[in-house]
Amino acid sequence: MKIPITVIDAFTDRPFAGNPAGVCLLENPISSDQMQSIAMEMNLSETAFVQKTSMPGFFSLRWFTPTLEIDLCGHATLASSFWMLQMGWAQAGETIHFATKSGELRVKSEGEWLNMDFPLIPTFTDIHPYFSTELFGHAILHAAQLKKNWIFELESEKAVRELIPDFSEIAKNSEEGFIITARGDGEYDIVSRFFGPNVGVPEDPVTGFAHCALMDYWNQKAGLTQIKAFQASKRGGELFIEKHDDRVAIKGRAVAVLEGIINV
């Protein structure tokens, strides 16, 4: 079986920045094992698989890292929506509905931007049992826990950018990984990074799901409801996020960088 596959750089408007995701628009079903094998072969942080349903405008969407299937992925949803619009699977200005492990997600194009409707991820102030005062040489101002990850607020944007993670220590002390964040000191309200060694992604370039939690964290901490955010990985990426009750609107752009065929 020959399956078209595309690599899309998400949360950026230029190639080789943002977060690359593999996207497969499936004309015919394939198995979960085949999806996992494709994701392992692509070796990107996530590869997304989209299938049509019996209802126009409604699609199933699944995301795989190189090692496992995950519950929620922002950049691969953005990438999938972008490519669906390019390939005529969706139309500009119309809402795309995705059935996922995290419930229904909705995406709508707004010019060159894509606006995604995601669930707000609740966070709870807590003290990490091992990293209570500092994280790899940087002071922790506050910490919070979400379902499978931790958020650590550091003292400055500089600290977030300069932190050198020990992935083995993160793996031992989290179920999935760590989100680090701080107030921005320039054009961005906040900056962040995400380390997910337990899901096969040592450092993710730009992480949509993390910002569903960061929206809740910074809303609780500082009352923010609209945030211009930058994920300070080597590739870097920007997101605009806005709180709407228990939902988060995440806006970003994307660009295609590679098209090909994968043999299954």
Looking at residue 58, what is its pLDDT? 95
Reply yes or no on whether the pLDDT at 56 is more than 90: no
How many whole angstroms separate alpha carbon 136 and alpha carbon 163?
A: 7
Residue 30 corresponds to which amino acid?
A: I
C-alpha torsion sign, points 231, 237, 238, 239: negative
Looking at residue 28, what is its pLDDT? 94
Cβ count within 10 A of residue 27:
9
Which positions are annotated as active-site residues?
A: 46
Average pLDDT of the segment spanning 246-258 = 97
Reply yes or no on whether the pLDDT at 94 is more than 90: yes
Q: Which two tokens stand for residue 2?
A: 């020959």
Looking at residue 92, what is its pLDDT? 94
Of 28, 26, 19, 66, whose CA–CA distance to 47 is shortest? 66
How many whole angstroms separate alpha carbon 213 and alpha carbon 119?
A: 9
How many whole angstroms separate alpha carbon 8 and alpha carbon 257?
A: 6
Question: pLDDT, tens digit, for every residue of 165-220?
Answer: 999 999 999 999 999 999 999 999 999 999 999 998 999 999 999 999 999 999 99
Which domains are assigned to the chain? 2-117+250-263 (3.10.310.10), 124-244 (3.10.310.10)
* pLDDT level of residue 93 (50, 70, 90 thresholds): very high
- pTM of the full structure: 0.93
Name residues whose C-beta falls within 8 Å of residue 185's C-beta, 6 or more positions apart in sequence.
156, 157, 158
Q: What is the mean pLDDT of the chain?
A: 96
